[in-house]
Amino acid sequence: MKKIGVLLSGCGNMDGSEIHESVLSLLFIDKAGAKAVCMAPDMTQTETVNHPKGETTRETRQVLAEAGRIARGHIRPITDVNVENLDALIIPGGAGPVKNLSTYAEKGPDFEVRHDVTMLIRAFYTAGKPIGAICIAPVILAKALSAHDPKVTIGDDAATIDNLKSFGAAHQAQPVDGICIDEANMLVTTPAYMRGPGIADIAIGIEKLVTQVISMTKG
């Protein structure tokens, strides 16, 4: 059975992993006959948001613990993950990738990706194993692999597209149900809620992404 790493970044679209995108990824991995291996950095969230109000709170939460809600407790720190034991990696979107996995939300084009996240992404790349990224998550994927001229899609946000180009990434426009395939770098991306509008719409693109990622794995 193929094992697909799923890199989570909390729980909730405003301060962690987008739950719909995460659960759909897990669903389609399972339907494809593969096993999801969930992981997250062991860190304090950059901020915590009261989702009904859309306001930040003084509450402190841990990314690993919050991501464990999505994974039903079956989650591990990314520092404990051995890439040799996995066949591919998928990164759901939400604010988590740009607030917790990187400083993109704060610094824009001058952002940095967390060192442990960068090392994880580069380890999959070096091993020739495919990586999928959803919604805004392609930004951190492209940054970590900027030396390799990655090609991704993130929807139609002009500022984000310009930022991608500023560090050498190419952008390919795709509809919500489409995927961008970078064969040379083994990358697959889909815009999901960067385009929306609803869960049924994003599900189509995410299923295509999961199917494509698995088809690109070795063996």
Residues 6 or more apart in contact with residue 125 via CB below 8 angstroms: 131, 145, 148, 185, 186
For residues 125 and 123, what is the distance between their CA atoms, to the nearest angstrom?
5
Q: What is the dihedral of CA 28, 178, 170, 118, to 10 degrees?
A: -10
**What letter does residue 193 receive in the DSSP assignment?**
G
User: Which residue in 11, 38, 135, 180 is the catalytic one?
Assistant: 135
For residues 70 and 78, what is the distance between their CA atoms, to the nearest angstrom?
16
**What letter does residue 63 receive in the DSSP assignment?**
H
In the sheet that holds 131-134, the strands lie side by side as: 75-77, 35-40, 3-7, 88-91, 131-134, 187-190, 180-182
Answer yes or no: 38 catalytic: no
Show which residues are catalytic. 135
